[in-house]
Amino acid sequence: MRTQVGIVGAGPAGLLLSHLLARRGIDSVVLEARSREYIERRVRAGVLEHPTVELLREVGLGERMDREGMPHEGVSLRFDSEEHRIDFADLTGRGIVVYGQQEVVKDLVAARLADGGDVRFEVSGVRLDGLTSDPVIHFDGADGTRGELRCDAVVGADGFHGVSRAAVPHTTYDRQYPFAWLGILAQAAPVREELVYANHPDGFALYSMRSPEVTRLYLQVPPDTDADDWSDARIWDELHRRLGTEINEGPLLEKGVTGMRSFVAEPMRHGRLFLAGDAAHIVPPTGAKGMNLAIADVRVLADALYRLVTAGDGSGVDAYSDTCLRRVWRAEHFSWWMTSMLHTDPAADAFDRRLQLAQLRQTVRSRAAATTLAENYVGLPHGSV
């Protein structure tokens, strides 16, 4: 087989790139290791930045998001038993939309298949060759048949553990955090309209939501925590205590522990292979940047690949890594800052705790400091970093 762009991974980055390329008349094939049912049901982050929302609307993917998504014009920071609202609308004139990553994936899969896009699920044995000149993707199809896909460019959007990242000679920047998140998805109507980030002496907690019927909540726990060691009653008790706000309880639909790390691989390109999303960078979830960074990557990459395959213009792909990494490092800093300001470090002493509280007080009392948080949270305009 031959196509213009071969894409490994059918997450938001890979699927959106395929959609953006198709709108410009560029053919692509998307190869995904998991089943369609799996990727459409896998619950992930749900905060869409303002530029992400605008892009999805612009490319015809905003109808269900606008109907079912939950617009937020601010978030609250809770510490010292008091709650302080950061008003995004007042500070920036913009907001965010809570709309689960799996919902974005559903919309993208439906759009690609409706347009005759080639998305292949349950692919295995992916191997990349000829990346400096004539790229080839070798793979086994769902029926076990061996396939060979020749293309002008390959995009690795297959996540941190995929095959693509290992094929790019890179320098790694990595930070592991001494805590994790115990997250639950509960069949319980949210009682709040916006997210609440709580800094508590015994650990961070987050109140969020996924729909008018489903609440998403998190607790800071040690990184070696086994979710099965936490009973439902223990989780609810700790959430009430740390959040200090009303919570509707309900049956747990999901429970799991997520590690916290910052990771960047530089560069994001090797020959005709380009990394996007988690294959190139990971942020702790505190700043809600993961999916938004992936979408920002492919917005840049779609334009660069269009110029490359239609006119032989390599200027866009040559600049791709540097262009994206400027935004990546801004998001890495913001995510690190939010994480360090809101979590309890087990190695911290009383001096560190006082510094943390001083930062929180400055953030909620200074309009300039609150604006910095708001601008980064709602998302800096694409192309502005």
Q: What is the pLDDT of residue 377?
A: 98
Q: Are residues 34 and 109 in the same domain?
A: yes
Q: What is the pLDDT of residues 229-253, one digit of tens each?
A: 999 999 999 999 999 989 999 999 9
226 shares a domain with 309:
no
Q: Among 260, 292, 317, where does a domain finish?
A: 260
| Same domain, yes or no: 166 and 31 | yes
Give the pLDDT confidence score for residue 91 in this predicted structure.
Answer: 98
Are both 32 and 154 inside the same structural domain?
yes
How far apart CA 261 and CA 179 sit, in angstroms, is 9
pLDDT at 383: 78
Whether residues 150 and 291 share a domain: the answer is: yes
**Residue 293 pLDDT:** 97
Length of the chain: 385
Asked if residue 129 belongs to a domain, the reply is yes
Q: What is the pLDDT of residue 122?
A: 97
Whether 349 is covered by a domain: the verdict is no
Same domain, 187 and 296: no
Mean local confidence (pLDDT), 85-103: 96
279 and 226, same domain (yes or no): no
pLDDT tens per residue across span 172-183: 999 999 999 999
Residues 222 and 154 in one domain: no
Q: Which residues are catalytic?
A: 72, 197, 285, 289, 377
Evaluate whether residue 355 is within a structural domain.
no
When pLDDT is averaged across residues 95-108 and rounded to a whole number, the result is: 95
pLDDT interval class at 41 (50, 70, 90) = confident
Please tell me the pTM assigned to this model: 0.95
Work out the average pLDDT over 175-198: 96
Mean pLDDT of 211-228: 95
Query: In this structure, are 31 and 114 located in the same domain?
Result: yes
pLDDT (0 to 100) of residue 151: 97
Q: Residue 255's beta-bridge partner residues?
A: 184
What per-residue confidence (pLDDT) applies to 302? 98
CATH of the domain at 243: 3.30.9.10
In a domain, 66, yes or no: no
Query: Looking at residues 315-338, what average pLDDT do you find?
Result: 97
| pLDDT of res. 97 | 97
Residue 383, domain member (yes or no): no
Mean model confidence pLDDT for the chain: 96
- Whether 191 has a pLDDT exceeding 80, the answer reads yes
Gyration radius from the chain CA atoms: 21
Q: Specify whether 184 is located in the same domain as 331.
A: no
pLDDT above 70 coverage of the chain, percent: 100
For residue 156, is it within any domain? Answer: yes
For residues 192 and 333, membership in a common domain is answered with no
pLDDT in tens, 258-278: 999 999 999 999 999 999 999
Total domain count, the chain: 2
Quick: pLDDT tens for 338-354: 999 999 999 999 999 99
Residues 101/159, Cβ–Cβ less than 8 Å: no
- Whether 205 is in a domain gets the answer yes
Looking at the predicted structure, is the pLDDT value of residue 44 above 80? Answer: no
pLDDT of residue 265: 97
Domain that holds residue 280: 2-46+100-170+267-344
User: Which of 222, 237, 260 delimits the end of a domain?
Assistant: 260
Query: Which of these three, 230, 260, 290, is where a domain ends?
Result: 260
Q: Give the CATH number of the domain where residue 282 resides.
A: 3.50.50.60
Longest dimension (CA), the chain: 63
Q: Is the pLDDT of residue 43 over 80?
A: no
Q: What is the pLDDT of residues 17-37, one digit of tens each?
A: 999 999 999 999 999 999 999
Per the domain annotation, does 121 fall within a domain? Answer: yes
Q: What is the mean pLDDT of residues 133-137?
A: 95
Asked whether residue 236 falls in the same domain as residue 184, the answer is yes
